[in-house]
Structure 1
């Protein structure tokens, strides 16, 4: 089978969809010894040397930078088929919402979440308008749809009138490096970030959907109510309307105990999860929510909302609160930071819950879908 995958997000996006694509493709490649894989690589970045890839993997750079390639394919709708770059394909997979023009190959598109339709107030207006025009068209042209959670699958079926057999879940996975670590292994990272105090960690892009302003207000209230010694440490790059998050810290006069790390080096994430007493993830909506599983895998107790995909990921290994309920968030922070028994119980459940999600299992599921779609069979 000749397979093509758009690898652009894997190269240009450090977190989120980029991380999902990198993890999935890395686990998929060892399964493709009898197949040929072509990765479409963004013009902006030189690909790794050919010797870094197996012999059955080809790299084809896109002719234009990502922004202009997107305009050409999804605004101007010019019929520049991917096969002009890849040669003949049996199947092409677009893992980032948008399916480019494809001449004859069977096609799949991955829908990570539908926040721009389900929770439009949390999507940047320009991005929302663009996705409202392009995602339905991609779904209509694709031979099969992939979602990375049951929640996203249900949303896609409901919003686009799809048959359940048209949409398959291929989730994400947790890398083995996310594991409990001894205190001696964490000293360098603690010193690097100056984390010489007990703290609650939250990691995500700084944007309204992640509810950092609500977390900051709740954390300040919990700290005052119970005189907690903990600090709040937030890691993540700046998204849209990030200024409101910094402004909330000023309004709450919390600058002495709320700390922003900025975009965190991926290699440091396992240590940061391990160093935290608690991982808080009060998001308004998540297509998958990988940080919840990564924190669990590290043996750190998790507090998260009961929105969208998070219940199916967390199971009974997290303390869950209703979405948007700040008083419940305050109470959850107080309880978990004061009740060592409960916090340790959740921390102990985490690794087993996270172990159910592996990139290898996701890649094997994906290859079965590829085989069925390329052969025009029904996907189980």
Structure 2
């Protein structure tokens, strides 16, 4: 089977979809079960030397990369990528991040990680929201199969996009804690002195309720004066939120570190160093970083949502999102009571065993194989 893949998210700093795709490619190229298949990864510019394709000479699927010059936006996808995909005689095309070329003579599969841009358009600028809604709806209509990363996300796709249920399949993500060594010369991490550390990792979106986390942290700092907070991720809030100003107004700015991006080495060290991971998102398709925290041995306090109940179960301490007092109480309890942390982590092992990239890659490959089999 010859699989074409939109590899744009492998460029630059890999977060979210980029790490999702890199993990799948590593499994497919590294496992003998996929030998004899070929993966063609397309990008609009060369991959950086520090982030090459994983396991290009592995024992699994043959992994090849093709550069199609262009800006990498929707026009590149719909014209340049579509033309090249047609020329390469593919069996199936995989769009790992919300869209695919809409005019293809082969079956395609698209992963819709969530439909927040349709369910909550107020969280997006009008131009970005319109683009995302248009492309995702048409990709879902054009694709032979839509992959949802949770049952919650599947139900959202059915409700908001009207995709036929038989064409939406759930494949939960895998998880692996970043484990690269800390690069020499990396600046000291927050709480390097040993102070308790509350950690958040993920792009900063309005739905992830960072102002509420700061309000809760103000209360936590009164109970545990030495506590620190690290917020890791690029600021993509809409409407824009002045999180540094909020921290200043609440009198905790000196104890809060904002880190727009850290590499895997520093991220792994932060996960291991943290006392508790805080995740108050009110809307997610899956929510990977809390599982990364658990994999690194850090307990999690998470907002009580349908997807949190599905994905994390009882391995996290769930709290009502709209109540900063309840969030603060949960954080203080986890920070100050070792037995609470140990009880949460004891439940993490069976949960994490379900979320392997080996399983996610096998299930995703099965979807691609089934779609290719339906080629006229």
User: Is TM-score (shorter-chain normalized) higher than 0.5?
Assistant: yes
Q: Quick one: structure 1 residues 51 and 238, their matched pair in 2 at CA, closer, same or farther if it must change by over 3 Å? A: closer
Gap runs ≥5 in structure 2? none
User: How far 1:204 moved relative to its partner?
Assistant: 1.4
| Contact 2:109–2:145 (8 Å) recurs in 1 | yes
Q: Any unmatched runs of 5+ in structure 1?
A: none
Q: Contact between 2:200 and 2:279, CA under 8 Å: does it hold in 1?
A: yes
Kindly provide the CA deviation profile for residues 327-378 of structure 1, in whole angstroms up to 9, marking residues without a partner as x: 321222232223332222112322332222111110111111112111129x
Judge conservation of contact 2:102–2:142 (CA < 8 Å) in 1.
no
> What is the deviation of 1:11?
2.1
1:64 matches 2:70: yes
> 343-352 vs 263-272, which deviates more?
343-352
1:100-127, Cα deviation, whole Å (9 max, x unpaired): 1443211111101111122222233321
Paired residue for 1:112?
A: 113
Query: How many residue pairs get matched?
Result: 367
Match of 1:140 in 2: 141
In structure 1, distance between residues paired with 2:52 and 2:149: 30
Deviation at 1:303, TM superposition (A): 0.3
SS of corresponding position for 1:253: coil
Q: Name the Cα RMSD after superposition.
A: 2.9
Deviations 1:187-214 (A, max 9, x none): x989455621221111111232221111
**Residues 1:37 and 2:35 are matched in the alignment:** no
Structure 1 window deviating more from structure 2 (170-179 vs 111-120): it is 170-179
Deviation at 1:168, TM superposition (A): 0.9
CA contact (8 A) 1:5 1:92 kept: yes
User: Separation in 1 of the partners of 2:173 and 2:81?
Assistant: 31
- Which stretch of structure 1 is more off in the superposition, 312-321 or 260-269? 260-269
Match of 2:152 in 1: 151
The question of whether the paired residues in 2 share the 8 Å contact of 1:204 and 1:236 is answered with yes
Distance 1:49 1:155, change over 3 A: closer
Partner of 1:374: 372
Q: How does 1:12-91 map to 2 (within 5 A)?
A: 12-29=12-29, 30=31, 31-43=33-45, 45=47, 53-54=56-57, 56-67=62-73, 70-73=74-77, 78=79, 81-83=82-84, 87-91=88-92
Matches within 5 A, 1:158-169: 158-169=159-170
TM-score where L is the length of structure 1: 0.87
Cα distance per residue 1:79-114 (max 9 Å; x no partner): 862445751011001111111144321111110111
Matched, 1:349 2:347: yes
Distance in 1 (CA, whole Å) between partners of 2:81 and 2:278 is 45
